[in-house]
């Protein structure tokens, strides 16, 4: 198994034996306070490990402003152009020095660095995604020791590597687009690709010790990683792979391997083993445990069932019993398959399916794309931020997040929360929007990166798939970077990296999941076409990335009908309050120098205005400072409504196969979930953690059961019901209320259809030409009305299922009778169980009512809604940091906006 060649295979019968294993491995953490200085010693400051240079200099007030204040993404670039040395002293006692093996372990160094211990160079690093282990026993002394890490400027290091490579041929792209205000040649470094800037984020090419540092001292062996493979059936089994390290120069180690699995009872086993490590001191042990079938409780994605997790501990104990190394994990029992079957056996040209089945049940993947929680790697792991974002995903009915390939492999906490919340993870490997070198040195460090990351993450039930890169197959085939001039060379490089180098490692270490070479790709069809398909976005195969910045995003007829939509999105501006924190008054217009600098998507502000103006009464002078809030607000409305229309289109298609072979869509992951700074982006959650309008809408359009009305090209009203539940829904009806813009209050709903709904399906239940629909509804003409659809159970009590869905029959700038509303907050009470009640009143119909809280963070039960009745009650739950607020404080912080009423 590559470097893990010391193979021992064991099978054992499990006994229900109570056991207790203790840790005796000596391990001294070297985290905490260090010092950092630049090349000429003009800057010297205290530093924290884990950490990074930008956070260290900001804490020391060397950088005396918020990193994201105005133009600081450019003003502070000098930091990335310097070299930085981190230093600390630590004491070692005689007892530690008595161990046969002492290793200095860096779990994350960002990125190009030299490590020096007591004036001895231990080696060099060039990959922030790797763990580096240095044998140091012979270099340590009793008492004080000095450790030094010298980081090269990542910008200059990338340039030097580019120049060496360019002597042979250029590996593009050379630079990011000018509009991104970034740096060049990041594809030559194994570093967060977005740290040199992206279309949604700034360039902060950090350096630093971004993960923990440890001294590991041991005499026998330590357990480094554990993998699991659940085998279901009448006699279920759990295969466990233990990856151990014995240190260099060791030919064999004898000991005892113990496995403890805590189900409803404790299942343990213990076996004597002899490790015969390879040249790098690595050994692999495989054990197979028989599981009591009645105690195997299956793990399900969010919305499909529970997520039971069980504690697994694997320990290696030396024969003399003096030393034990153990690793404890939380695992689950589930199977996952990427189903890529022919749609029509008799007509293979109609393509293949592309969806996940968990425990034998097909799932529609609903969710978003995850970028790092911060552009600074050490802050991207912040527990509070990660927990908030993951909770926000779960609470909006998401069951999948795609970890995008231009960021970082996420923290252990991220995957633990995904396990707990039932959020499947589409895991890109960290390559994005570039060609990459294939020099022996580059491939060697990538090999170890992939080994370590797959071994770290393999046991998580949430991880659903490995994808080799983000968009690189499409970039190569469609000539994004001029590769067509030497296509075969770049194709060979592509295959060498993702197929010949990465794929064997992934499949060897994790045979339980699918590996696709790219996203988007055509899955099996891409493989059949030599791994670079003629059309990587073929809608009859695999996944697609689809963006439209010109056509009306509210038009349900616009969108493709793919098998799986793994990226799609529309831009919006962040919260006005967020921008207030990092701007000055002269910056607060859509056309200010700063806002143009923050817009990293070429023509982005004009595109936002173009799309918003198709449906909303956007002022002609939207660039004027007095219309800045309106522009922000309309951008969020357009984003929410466009992604709602697109997502519902994909969900409607789950059961429908078009005559062209398109359809059977089984995934909708919009771009993107989160933000890293205060700037226009595709996110649904602001960098402050507040939900944009889109995120509130996601809770509704991702609900397990939805009613989805739309107008077809031939001006007919169609109503589709989607049921993602694992069971059928018996006896329900679709009801509609058609309201008028000039009349407050909705008429009594009328029933359009009664029906039963099959499990895991979509079905069109009603269609009628628009003129007839309006006539029956008593609407004089289309400009005067809107329609509100709902699903109601016909069982006793007639409870509503899911959420209302509003169909806007005409662009709102054409709406007749729409008047300026007077919306007021009449009362705020609570909290009761941490929740406040907010009561509103209006004197006219008010579309897109938007509630904001100044300096108070939390979520409303609904937001961005149509207020058709005079009164509305909304709930507010503050985040933990605002948990102690009073009702009066909440009320004083509240502002209310609607389409014709805003600041």
Which residues belong to the active site?
471, 567
* Nearest CA-CA partner of 218 in 120, 132, 117, 135: 135
Q: Which helix (H) or strand (E) element contains residue 154?
A: helix 154-166
Sign of the torsion angle spanned by Cα atoms 414, 416, 421, 422:
positive
* Nearest CA-CA partner of 546 in 674, 412, 665, 431: 665
DSSP conformation letters of 503-529 = HHHHHHH-TTSEEESSBS--THHHHHT
Place of tokens 């902060």: 204
Quote the strand ranges of 570-715, DSSP E: 667-670, 705-711
* Nearest CA-CA partner of 459 in 404, 502, 422, 416: 416
* Nearest CA-CA partner of 56 in 208, 212, 203, 197: 208
Q: What is the CA radius of gyration of the chain?
A: 29
| ω into 264 cis (within 30 of 0) | no
Order of strands, sheet of 729-740, starting from the edge strand that comes earlier in the sequence: 750-757, 729-740, 785-793, 800-808
Do strands 282-290 and 6-9 pair parallel, antiparallel, or not at all (unpaired)? parallel
Order of strands, sheet of 324-331, starting from the edge strand that comes earlier in the sequence: 266-275, 253-262, 310-318, 324-331
Helices (H), 737-818: 770-777
- As a whole number of angstroms, the distance between CA 422 and CA 307 comes to 6
* Nearest CA-CA partner of 439 in 363, 493, 399, 393: 493
What is the DSSP-derived secondary structure letter of residue 557?
A: T
DSSP conformation letters of 388-420 = HHHHHHHTTT--EEEE-TTS-PPPHHHHHHHHH
Rounding to the nearest 10 degrees, give the CA dihedral for residues 890, 878, 804, 306: -170
Sign of the torsion angle spanned by Cα atoms 591, 593, 598, 599:
positive
Specify whether the CB–CB gap between 173 and 187 falls below 8 A.
yes
- As a whole number of angstroms, the distance between CA 390 and CA 406 comes to 19
SS3 content of the chain, % helix, strand, coil (to 5): 25, 35, 40
Specify whether the CB–CB gap between 844 and 745 falls below 8 A.
no
CA–CA distance from 538 to each of 179, 522, 544, 655 (Å)?
30, 7, 7, 19
- As a whole number of angstroms, the distance between CA 675 and CA 655 comes to 34
What is the DSSP-derived secondary structure letter of residue 351?
A: -
Specify whether the CB–CB gap between 5 and 282 falls below 8 A.
yes
CA–CA distance from 681 to each of 569, 614, 645 (Å)?
10, 20, 19
């Amino acid at each position: 198994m590559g470097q893990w060649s010391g193979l021992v295979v064991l099978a054992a019968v499990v006994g229900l034996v109570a056991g207790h294993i203790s840790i005796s491995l000596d391990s001294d953490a070297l985290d905490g306070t260090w010092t950092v200085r630049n090349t000429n010693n003009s800057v010297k400051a205290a530093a924290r490990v884990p950490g990074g240079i930008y956070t260290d200099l900001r804490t020391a007030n060397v950088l005396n402003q918020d990193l994201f204040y105005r133009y600081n993404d450019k003003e502070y670039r000098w930091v990335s152009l310097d070299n930085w040395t981190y230093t600390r002293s630590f004491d070692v006692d005689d007892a530690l020095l008595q161990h046969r093996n002492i290793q200095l372990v860096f779990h994350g160094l960002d990125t190009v660095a030299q490590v020096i211990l007591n004036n001895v160079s231990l080696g060099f690093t060039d990959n922030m995604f790797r763990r580096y282990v240095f044998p140091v026993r012979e270099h340590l002394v009793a008492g004080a020791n000095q450790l030094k890490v010298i980081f090269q400027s990542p910008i200059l290091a990338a340039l030097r590597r580019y120049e060496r490579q360019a002597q042979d041929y250029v590996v593009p792209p050379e630079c990011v687009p000018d509009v991104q205000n970034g740096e060049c040649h990041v594809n030559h470094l194994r570093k967060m690709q977005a740290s040199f800037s992206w279309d949604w984020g700034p360039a902060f090419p950090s350096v630093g010790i971004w993960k923990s540092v440890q001294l590991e001292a041991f005499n026998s062996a330590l357990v480094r990683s554990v993998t699991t493979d659940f085998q279901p059936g009448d006699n279920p089994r759990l295969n466990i792979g233990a990856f151990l390290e014995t240190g260099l120069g060791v030919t064999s180690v004898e000991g005892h391997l113990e496995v403890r699995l805590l189900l409803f009872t404790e299942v343990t086993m213990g076996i004597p083993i002899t490790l015969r490590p390879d040249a790098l001191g690595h050994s692999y042990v495989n054990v197979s445990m028989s599981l009591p079938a009645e105690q195997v409780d299956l793990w399900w994605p969010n919305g499909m069932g529970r997520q039971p997790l069980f504690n697994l501990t694997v320990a290696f104990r030396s024969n003399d019993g003096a030393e034990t190394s153990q690793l404890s994990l939380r695992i689950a029992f589930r199977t996952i398959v990427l189903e890529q079957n022919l749609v029509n056996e008799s007509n293979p040209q109609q393509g293949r399916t592309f969806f996940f089945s968990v425990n034998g049940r097909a799932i529609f993947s609903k969710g978003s794309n995850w970028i790092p929680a911060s552009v600074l790697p050490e802050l991207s792991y912040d527990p509070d931020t990660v927990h908030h974002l993951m909770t926000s995903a779960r609470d909006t009915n998401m069951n999948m997040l795609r970890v995008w390939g231009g960021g970082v492999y996420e923290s252990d906490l991220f995957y633990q929360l995904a396990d707990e919340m039932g959020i499947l993870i589409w895991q890109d490997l960290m390559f994005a929007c570039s060609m990459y070198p294939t020099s022996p040195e580059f491939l060697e460090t990538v090999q170890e990166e992939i080994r370590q990351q797959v071994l770290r993450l393999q046991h998580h039930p949430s991880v659903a798939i490995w994808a080799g890169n983000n968009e690189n197959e499409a970039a190569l085939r469609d000539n994004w970077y001029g590769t067509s001039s030497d296509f075969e060379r770049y194709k060979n490089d592509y295959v060498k990296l993702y197929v010949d180098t990465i794929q064997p490692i992934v499949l060897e270490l994790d045979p339980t999941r699918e590996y696709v070479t790219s996203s988007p790709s055509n899955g099996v069809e891409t493989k059949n076409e030599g791994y670079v398909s003629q059309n990587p976005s073929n809608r009859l195969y695999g996944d697609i990335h689809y963006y439209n910045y010109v056509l009306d995003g509210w038009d349900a007829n616009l969108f493709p009908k793919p098998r799986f939509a793994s990226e799609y999105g529309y831009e919006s501006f962040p919260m006005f309050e967020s921008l207030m924190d990092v701007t000055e008054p002269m910056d607060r217009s859509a056309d200010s120098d700063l806002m143009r600098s923050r817009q990293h998507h070429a023509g982005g502000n004009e595109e936002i205005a173009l799309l918003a103006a198709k449906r909303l009464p956007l002022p002609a002078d939207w660039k004027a400072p007095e219309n800045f809030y309106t522009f922000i607000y309309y951008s969020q409305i357009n984003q929410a409504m466009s992604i709602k229309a697109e997502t519902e289109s994909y969900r409607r298609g789950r059961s429908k196969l078009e005559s062209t072979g398109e359809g059977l869509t089984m995934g909708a992951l919009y771009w993107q979930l989160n933000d890293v700074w205060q700037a226009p982006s595709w996110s649904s959650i602001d960098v402050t953690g507040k939900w944009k309008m889109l995120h509130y809408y996601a809770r509704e359009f991702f609900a397990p059961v939805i009613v989805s009305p739309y107008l077809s090209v031939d001006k007919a009203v169609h109503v589709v019901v989607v049921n993602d539940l694992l069971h059928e829904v018996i006896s329900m009806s679709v009801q509609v209320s058609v309201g008028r813009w000039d009349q407050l209050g909705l008429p009594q709903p009328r029933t359009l259809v009664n029906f039963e709904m099959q499990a895991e399906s979509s079905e069109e239940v009603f269609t009628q030409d628009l003129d007839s629909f309006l006539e029956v509804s008593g609407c004089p003409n289309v400009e005067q009305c809107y329609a509100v659809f709902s699903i109601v159970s016909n069982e006793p009590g007639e409870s509503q299922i899911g959420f209302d869905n509003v169909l806007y029959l005409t662009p709102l700038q054409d709406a007749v009778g729409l008047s300026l509303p007077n919306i007021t907050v009449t009362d705020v009470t609570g909290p009761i169980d941490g929740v406040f009640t907010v009561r509103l009143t209006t004197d006219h119909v008010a579309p897109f009512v938007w509630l904001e809280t100044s300096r108070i963070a939390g979520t409303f039960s609904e937001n961005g809604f149509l207020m058709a009745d005079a009164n509305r009650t909304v709930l507010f739950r503050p985040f933990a940091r605002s948990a102690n607020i009073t009702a009066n404080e909440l009320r004083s912080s509240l502002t209310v906006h609607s389409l014709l009423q805003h600041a």
